[in-house]
Structures are given as structure tokens and as C-alpha cells.
Amino acid sequence: SQTIHQWPATLVQPVGSPLSLECTVEGTSNPNLYWYRQAAGRGLQLLFYSVGIGQISSEVPQNLSASRPQDRQFILSSKKLLLSDSGFYLCASRVWETNEKLFFGSGTQLSVL
Amino acid sequence: SQQGEEDPQALSIQEGENATMNCSYKTSINNLQWYRQNSGRGLVHLILIRSNEREKHSGRLRVTLDTSKKSSSLLITASRAADTASYFCATGGKLTFGTGTRLTIIP
């Protein structure tokens, strides 16, 4: 089965600083990849998804961007963080042809101060 | 926008009792999935039910689907303290999640 690696687990950043969160996938190839954000005590908001290298779809206009430089690598970035970017960020992977379920990473808790 | 919405938002029961959570969705679906999230962790897939299925079982989990009412329910039987978590339903090709039900099992 797939394993999703996400790091760091916790991150505290000042407002206006840049951000780079990385997600890598093991155990599969050509996955669909997703970035979700979860506010405290809330549901998951889909931010970006990717069906292949260099292919990114944005779901919500915001201060963030995503890139997929390799098949099993998905990066979430920001040039200047806002307070509202705080939250729990989750990367997920899905191989549509064999299984429709999502595998999630362990998440990054981002606090922007 | 959220496709699935879980109800209730929070549920507390005694260990050994059954827990039932509901999910409502808005548009036609091919399948509906339930996930579990322990506090501060990623989500874990529990069960998938297809639109042509009405009921599905997996261990202590029982899921029903009523496409005419656009709703699903998740039943956890003989609850254990370890079942304490948030439970989410998800639908759609891009898997849109609801706000979840926070389940607390009281030992």
C-alpha cells in the first residue's frame, strides 16, 4: 500500500515569511495528489490537486501555490504567509485505477504569528 | 463548497454502546466514503459504499446509503475507547469532505 511522507510535523512562521511544505509518496506510481487544509475543529478544505507532473488545479483562490516537480512529489508554497494561512495541512494520494480511496500523510500544523 | 455534511457535530456515548453518525450530500454520487481522524493526525479510510449498494459491513462498522434521500449513516457497534475520533464522509471525484462528527467514547 501507499505511504505518504509529510514534513515537518509542526511549523511556526512569522507573517510575511515564505513557506514550503513537501509531500512524497512511496509504494505507487502516477498517483493523483491532493493538498487539504483543516482549520481547528473544522472539516477539510481542498486546496490543490494534481493528476500528473506539472499539472496543478487550484480549488480556492488564496495566498498559496502548489507544484509537482516529480511523479511522487507534491509541494505547497507561499511567498508571504498571512495569519489566515494557519491550519493543519494534509497531503493525500490516490491511485484511481486500483483503489478510489485516499491515503493521507500525518499532516503539518502551521502556525503563522 | 462542502458536498457532505455530517450530523451530529459531536456525540458522546458510553463504552459498549453503539454510535450512529449521519451524512447528507447534495449531488449525485458514484460512491461515498467514510474516514476517521484521530486528533492531530491524518485521515484513515474506513469503508467505501457504491451508489448501487444499500448496506455494507466491515468488522464493527455498518454503512448504509440511501441515494433517494442523498444520505448515508455509519454505525459503530460495541464502541471502544479507541474509537474516540472524528469521522468524516466524502464524496465526489475530488473527494469533498464534510465537517465531521467528533465521537467521544466514555470508558
pLDDT digits (tens, 9 = 90+) for A22-48: 999 999 889 999 999 998 877 899 999
**Are residues B40 and A109, on separate chains, in Cβ contact within 8 Å?**
yes
Lowest model confidence (mean pLDDT) among A9-23, B75-89, B91-105: B91-105
Helix (H, G, I), strand (E, B) or coil at B83: helix
Query: Is the preceding omega at residue A8 within 30 degrees of 0, hence cis?
Result: yes
Question: What is the pLDDT of chain B when averaged over all its residues?
Answer: 92
Distance CA B70, CA B73 (A): 11
The pLDDT value recorded for residue B61 is: 98
Tell me how many degrees the CA angle A78-A80-A81 measures, rounded to the nearest 5. 80
Question: A104: distance to nearest CA of chain B, Å?
Answer: 6
CB < 8 Å to B44, chain A: 104
**Are residues A102 and B35, on separate chains, in Cβ contact within 8 Å?**
yes
The answer to whether B58 faces chain A, any CB pair under 8 Å, is: no
Above 60 in pLDDT, residue A64?
Answer: yes
The residue among A9 and A97 whose pLDDT is bigger is A9
Distance CA A93, CA A103 (A): 5
The answer to whether B44 faces chain A, any CB pair under 8 Å, is: yes
Summarised one tens digit per residue, pLDDT across range B29-78 is 889 999 999 999 999 999 999 999 999 999 999 999 999 999 999 999 99
Pairing of strands A87-94, A32-38: antiparallel
Q: What is the length of chain B?
A: 107
The pLDDT value recorded for residue B1 is: 43
CB < 8 Å to B85, chain A: none
**Are residues B45 and A103, on separate chains, in Cβ contact within 8 Å?**
yes
Question: B45: distance to nearest CA of chain A, Å?
Answer: 7
Distance CA B97, CA A105 (A): 16
